Structure 1
């Protein structure tokens, strides 16, 4: 009896193509379940976590009662952050600095002064700087929060019970 017959069958019973397909399927199953490698782990996971402080600026937040929002920040002391549409955990609100709404007013001598904005609708807009504190992995390229890098200019979305708005990062400090 020949090893291969004229139709390409092994010992006249099994097609070589069928055998090759079965072997490929078997190797895929072994590759997925027996030898998974590092496919489920992040290289960032091995980096030590350190506390960081992030200063974010809020410009022109439209809110009917700005003082109530600032009081809510002071009472809850926590906010959820979202970076690049990825939930990135909860940070502590360490400090809140409301900023005055001013406008540039030319003076008779040619100089300019920043004076409080007299427009009535300005009472519904709030500018502030928030200092947030939380943990991040520190890599060679900077702080990583929730697998997203946090650098000056990074847009961070703050989310709480009664609010959801975007901020811009103006400072990142790694604490010791």
Structure 2
């Protein structure tokens, strides 16, 4: 009896193509269950969780009464954040400070001077906001939810009557 007949069947029963397809399916199943790889999540089990503080700067926020927003942050002391379009949840608002609006005025001698903005009815404000929460500390840095938090990361702050973006300017891990 021949191992391979004229029609390409092994021992006259199995086609070589069928055996090749079955082998590919078997290898895929073995690859999925025995070598699954990473789960795709940045937050891993067994990673230490530590408190962090994140400083955010808000530039040019269009608002009529910034004092009301700052008072809301100081009384509620919590805000919801969204990092890279991924909702994280609530974090504590540790501090809020309104930054002075300044402009650069060129001088006749060629130098420049930084002076307070003299324009009235300026509905634009700058703020420095310090948030605190618990983050997982990975080898690549702190992670809130499934998003890394680093200098330059845009974070969206959301509350009952506000929704605006800020940029991370400092991350401090508390030990």
Cross-structure match for 1:114: 115
Alignment length (residue pairs): 172
Query: In the TM superposition, what whole-angstrom CA distance separates every residue of 1:26-61 from its partner, at most 9, and x where no partner exists?
Result: 3323432x3253432646513201010011111110
Of residues 128-137 and 98-107 in structure 1, the stretch that sits farther from structure 2 once superposed is 98-107
Unaligned segments of structure 1, at least 5 residues: none
Cross-structure match for 1:17: 17
Cross-structure match for 2:39: 40
Alignment of 1:135-174 (within 5 A): 135-174=134-173
How many angstroms apart in 2 are the aligned matches of 1:174 and 1:25? 47
Unaligned segments of structure 2, at least 5 residues: none
Secondary structure, counterpart of 2:121 in structure 1 = helix
Instruction: Give the direction of change, closer, same or farther, for the CA distance of 1:4–1:106 in structure 2 (3 Å limit).
Output: closer
Instruction: Give the direction of change, closer, same or farther, for the CA distance of 1:120–1:87 in structure 2 (3 Å limit).
Output: same
Higher helix share: 1
How many angstroms apart in 2 are the aligned matches of 1:84 and 1:42? 14
TM-score (norm 1): 0.80
TM-score (norm 2): 0.80
Instruction: Give the direction of change, closer, same or farther, for the CA distance of 1:16–1:126 in structure 2 (3 Å limit).
Output: same
